A and B are shown apart, each in its own frame.
Chain A
Amino acid sequence: MKLRMVGCTHREANLDLRQRLAFDDKQVAEALKQWRVDLPGTELALLSTCNRVELYAAAEENTPDSQSLVAALARFHHLAPGDIGPEIMTLADREVAEHLFRVTASLDSMVVGESQILSQVKRAFQSAQTMNAAGPRLNGLFQAALRAAKRVAGETTLHRHRVSVASVAISELATCVFETFDDKHVLVAGAGEMAEETLRYLQDSGSPRIHVVNRSRERGELLAEKYGGKVHPWEELSEQLVKADLAISTTSASEPIMTAAEFATAISPRRHQRPLVILDLAVPKDFDPAIGDELGVYLYSLDDLHQACQRNQASRAAALPAAEEIIREETVRFVAETHLRASAPVITELREGLHRPKEAELERLFNRLPQLDETSKQEIRQFADRLVNKLLHSPLESLRDASQSGTHHGLLEALRRLFKIES
């Protein structure tokens, strides 16, 4: 089996090129449909995310060369191959497998260990299957990639450590305080990007009631509408803080929007020590740090969350060697299995080539010795089977060893010629 991959990733290609080559779901389907016609006999799958566009090709004997695959990518977007040439990555055979395994296990991601890529790889393969562009060869490759990713997730701690501020804030901090977010009152002060990112994570974890207070009502309404929340006038900040379970603050105010004295007098007494998580994601800070000393208040600033992210990044780095080792093992296993599959017809033919004369000779022998009872015949039959199996054992073992090291082609050819195998 031959494999080839062409594409661009965040490592080599800039955002402009990645955007020009990007495919949405509909375009993926259209492109695969077109390429099935342009590149007959080749199995194809296209992985397109914001960090990479990769076209995988597999065939029994020869895949289209890299130029053809790059041209196919470029043609779909009405580009000249020369426009995208220098930044395109091309890989073949074993490199393809190893690369896809690393991608699926999130070792090649911009944020190593992020979990989204696994579902993106699955979706890419499902699209290829739906469009009848993928066959048994790519199926074997992608299944092996998913197996490698599963091993990395299960046997290392790579995926257990979140590294973005928003994910740490929700997945590691807020979940320590709240069992569920479904009935929680979430206050968003300010409508910055960080607030939006945090709300995205929050919505993945439940369906909280979102309340936005913003100085610009228009921007506040936009954010509230996007996440199904309500917008309130800025003057209601204190009132909303009394009701809130989780407060996310990302205003651009130059002074704190809430002082410790104000919190202690106007808010604390009305909360009755009900837990409140405050994510102060603004620079400079929106909440006086002394508010964190109030009972039931867990105040985390951007710096606090950054520190947690850095600790997690260090933990991930520590888990990387083990993850890379798993990728190496799985690549070796995949290559060996692929070679063995390629040798399968020869092995089958070899077995049958010896079993056919064995059966003929046994029949001739039993005809010449009619006095043999069934027990004796059975013994003789078993003897013949054992003899054939023992004769086959050494060549098959050598073939298996050669398959694992990738040097099986010469041996296969020799077996074909020695035993006159035609396949």
Chain B
Amino acid sequence: MDSGINIICFAASYAVALALELSGLWATVRFRRMGEVLAAAAGLVAHTWYLGRRVAEQPAAPLASQQEWFLLAAWVLAVVYLAARFYYPSKSLGLFLLPGVLSLIGAATLAPAKPLVSFEAPRVWGIVHGLFLLVGTVAVLVGFLAGLMYLLQSRRLKLKRLPTTGLKLPSLEWLEHANSRALGMATLMMCGGLLSGIITRLAQKGSTLKFSWTDPVVISLAAMTAWLLVAEVFRRVYPAARQGRKVAYLTMAAFGFLLLVLAAVLWGDRFHQPYGTAEATSVERIAPQTLLRGGEK
């Protein structure tokens, strides 16, 4: 980037915010919270600038490559963090959300940055497909982190360790609500993402007969969506699953599926390879991929 802003710039800003948050566990640092917000805000500005430059250079960005998809997911999670910091200034939410942001940025550095082949499907379906999966991924992540916080908070209270200083977490009631909403949102988004992916294929070729159903990305994504659907139905039908640690376990399991999907995207994906590449299969040549590279994870 000729602006001088690269991934390291905003990753470093988020890392500084995380370091400041960590320092609060052991010591009273003056102006720590302000420092955290400033560092994270600086990171978000640089992050936005970086994605904006990509859009300026490539109209299909910021969903034109796997790398951009991860970076956009990290951007959404960073926005969630800053909003949480604003509404719950005394809670240690950054300890959980910022590692998520940094992990997504880390995944972005591993993912291919090259633009995907030009797509033949209607652009609107591609965008819908990519955005559904992006929001769904962030929702699963938020639900996982809320579930983690719930179990940690619950454990501390069971052990009679009242959190007077250091790690301060939201109440169990708040975490339970956040967790439930994240699960509902993730289910909706992932179902929408899967459905719009199939529609995209149909729009391209008019048939899904030669669809690569055995592709690791497709399998893991379909499994995760099925799990989310079952979990959501289970949560609504079974009262005990609506509250307490069960809903936390449900979202944590969903995160396990998400990790499988992301691993498949990074290392096992044959589904979205461009024409003429060594990995491309005959199926893929019949059914060209959408522009939204990460969108079909």
Question: What residues of chain A have their CB less than 8 Å away from a CB belonging to chain B?
Answer: 157, 160-161, 168, 172-173, 175-180, 272-275, 292, 295-296, 298, 300, 304, 307-308, 311-312, 315
Q: For residue A184, which residue of chain B has the nearest CB?
A: B173
Query: Quick check: is B200 within 8 A (CB to CB) of the other chain?
Result: no
Q: Does B246 contact A (CB under 8 A)?
A: yes
Closest residue of B by beta carbon distance from A312: B164
- State whether A172 touches B162 (Cβ < 8 A): yes
* Residue in contact with B243 in the complex, picked from A178, A275, A300, A307, CB distance below 8 Å: A275
A to B contact number (C-beta, < 8 Å): 66
* Bound: A199/B28 CA distance, A: 33
- Select from chain A the residue with minimum beta-carbon distance to B156: A176
- The reply to whether A273 and B164 contact each other, CB–CB distance below 8 Å, is no
- Footprint of A on B, CB under 8 Å? 28, 153, 156-158, 160, 162-165, 169-174, 177, 239-240, 242-246
Q: How far is the CA of A157 from the CA of B164 in the complex (A)?
A: 10
Q: Residue A295 contacts which of B162, B173, B239, B245 (CB distance < 8 angstroms)?
A: B245
Kindly name the residue among B153, B177, B243 whose own CB sees the greatest number of chain A CB atoms within 10 A. B243
User: Which B residues touch A180, using CB under 8 A?
Assistant: 173
Supposing A176-B163, A312-B164, A315-B165 touch, asked if A157 and B28 sit within 8 A by C-beta, the answer is: yes
Q: Which residue of A lies closest to B160 (CB)?
A: A304
Q: How far is the CA of A298 from the CA of B171 in the complex (A)?
A: 13
Q: How far is the CA of A304 from the CA of B174 in the complex (A)?
A: 25
In the bound complex, residues from chain B placing their C-beta under 8 Å from that of A161 are 164
B146 to chain A, nearest CB (A): 13
Chain B binding site: helix, strand, loop or mixed by DSSP? helix
Q: Which residues of chain A have C-beta atoms less than 8 A from B170's C-beta?
A: 179
Given known A175-B171, A176-B171, A178-B173, contact A311–B164 (CB-CB < 8 A): yes
Tell me which of B160, B165, B244, B246 contacts A157 (CB under 8 A). Answer: B165
A277 to B165 alpha-carbon distance, docked (Å): 21
Further 5 A-B residue pairs, CB within 8 A, beyond A161-B164, A172-B163, A275-B243: A178-B172, A178-B173, A272-B239, A300-B160, A304-B160
Chain A nearest CB, measured from B294 CB (Å): 35
Q: A200 to B203, alpha carbons, bound, how many Å? A: 65
| B residues less than 8 Å from A315 (CB atoms) | 164-165
Contact A308 B162 (CB under 8 A): yes
Instruction: Kindly list chain A residues whose C-beta atoms are within 8 Å of the C-beta of B157.
Output: 173, 176-177, 298
Task: Report Cα–Cα, A275/B177, bound state, in Å.
Answer: 13
Top 6 nearest A-B pairs by Cβ distance?
Answer: A273-B244, A272-B240, A179-B173, A272-B239, A179-B174, A179-B171
Please, which residues of chain A bring their CB within 8 A of the CB of B162? 168, 172-173, 176, 308
Interfacial chain B residues near A177, Cβ < 8 Å? 157, 171-173
Bound-complex Cα distance A367 to B156 (A): 88
Q: How distant is the Cα of A236 from the Cα of B28 in the complex, in angstroms? A: 48
- B244 (CB) vs chain A CBs: closest residue: A273
Distance, CA A300 to CA B162, complexed state (A): 11
